[in-house]
Amino acid sequence: MTTMLKTKKVTIQELKAQLANRIAEYGIPNGVGSAGTVEVSLARGITRTFRSHWTGFRLTYQKPTIVLKASLKDGSFWSEGYISPDQPSFVLVFRKQPHKSRGTGAERPDDKFSGAQALETSRATTAARVEAGLVADEEIIRYEDFDDPFEAVDEFFSYTSFYGLRAVNVDWSQFGYVTDDAVRWDDQSYDARVSPDMAKVEEGLKRSDILWISVDTDPGGKPVPSWFLYGKDKRLFILSGEPEQRIPFAGQAKRAHVQTRWKGRDASMVEFDAKVRPITAADGDEFTSIAQLLVAKRQSVRGGAAATIETWMRDAVILELFPGS
């Protein structure tokens, strides 16, 4: 049974730095975007109610919490993030109206929450919209809670990409971001993004037998324990395609978050973000040559190296990771 590695207690300042770095990595410009906008605020005393399969849920955040909202300009899709260092964080994804195949989405008499109660926060502008009955109909597509607030920040962007941007074929460069005064970006490393200590990264890779990887294309965002190849040329490769090691949507991955684990111990050594380059059978000789190195690293190969590589060419993707990029 696989267990998740524990994370340390974090601060609001660290979460703001993580968020600033992600905005920089996705290339989201400042201001209102042509396709949509990410709103960033810092608030407390927040209550959010929503429905899922006719069941009402209420989220309450009394302590300072980072609130994220990414909305398409036409209002058809939006995502919300409630990022807290003190309690589980939540990421929610909505569409304006239920899909036609799901029926009208009309309320039932026994609904715990009605449409007029669908959204409540302490922010005055939103409260006014609720009071005026201007809250749009909404259907939740996905919601998930995270004990690790850093993971919640990453999944806010992943879920927005997967469920929102893909639906209308836009990318982050067509979005913008706006913040309220409480966020104070001036104390964050927005332009000088935090880079990992490459000496520690190299040591972690040399001392690890597996690493934990989560990619930006995976809507679930759960780290996958993976064996890997790190050679003398300092190139890092992971294979996705074996039954016990499948990284969701690996062929489209662009970014990854990685944890290295000490050999023989359930302890994390170092974490880092990395750029990802997928390599497939369509890349021909490059795929084959790297696959030969990987199969030599593999401890147990059924059917011989040639047969294994042939199977990988049909079913697998090789990911090359560039730590700190």
Q: How many Å apart are CA 41 and CA 84, to the nearest integer? A: 12
* pLDDT at residue 263 in the model: 63
Q: How many whole angstroms separate alpha carbon 280 and alpha carbon 252?
A: 11
Q: If residue 17 lies in a helix (H) or strand (E), which one and from where to where?
A: helix 12-25
Query: Cα–chain-centroid distance for residue 61?
Result: 22
Question: Is 44 in a helix, a strand, or coil?
Answer: coil
Short-list 247, 193, 179, CA closest to 42: 179
Among positive and negative, which fits the CA dihedral 151, 154, 157, 158?
Answer: negative
Residue 53 falls in which region: left (phi positive, over 0), alpha (psi -120 to 50) or beta = left
d(CA 125, CA 68): 15
Domains of the chain, residue spans:
12-187, 198-323
Structural element, H or E, at residue 224: strand 224-226
Between CA 77 and CA 132 the distance in angstroms is 22
Per-residue pLDDT of the chain (325 residues; tens, 9 = 90+): 333 334 456 788 888 888 888 888 788 888 888 999 999 998 888 998 887 776 778 899 999 999 999 999 888 889 999 999 999 999 999 887 655 444 434 444 443 443 333 334 434 554 454 455 444 457 888 899 999 999 999 999 999 988 888 878 888 889 999 888 777 654 443 333 445 677 888 888 888 888 989 888 876 667 888 999 998 888 999 999 887 889 988 998 888 888 887 665 555 567 888 889 999 999 999 999 999 999 888 766 666 788 889 999 998 999 999 987 6
* pLDDT of amino acid 179: 86
pLDDT reported for residue 1: 33
Alpha helices, DSSP H, located in 132-257? 149-159, 166-168, 198-207
Locate all alpha helices (DSSP H) within the chain, ordered by sequence: 12-25, 124-131, 149-159, 166-168, 198-207, 285-297, 305-315
Region 198-323: CATH code: 2.30.110.10
**Hey, is 96 helix, strand or coil?**
coil
Radius of gyration for the chain, computed over Cα atoms and rounded to the nearest angstrom: 22
Query: Environment class of residue 264 by beta-carbon count within 10 Å: exposed (0-12), middle (13-18) or buried (19+)?
Result: exposed
In angstroms, rounded to a whole number, what is the distance separating the alpha carbons of residues 90 and 71?
A: 17
CB atoms within 10 A of CB 302: 8
Do residues 120 and 48 lie in contact, with contact meaning Cβ atoms separated by under 8 Å?
A: yes
Contact 29, 176 (CB under 8 A): yes
Q: What amino acid occupies position 148? A: D
| Amino acid 85: pLDDT | 92
Beta-bridged to residue 49, according to DSSP, are 58
Contacts of 301 (CB under 8 A, 6+ apart): 295, 308
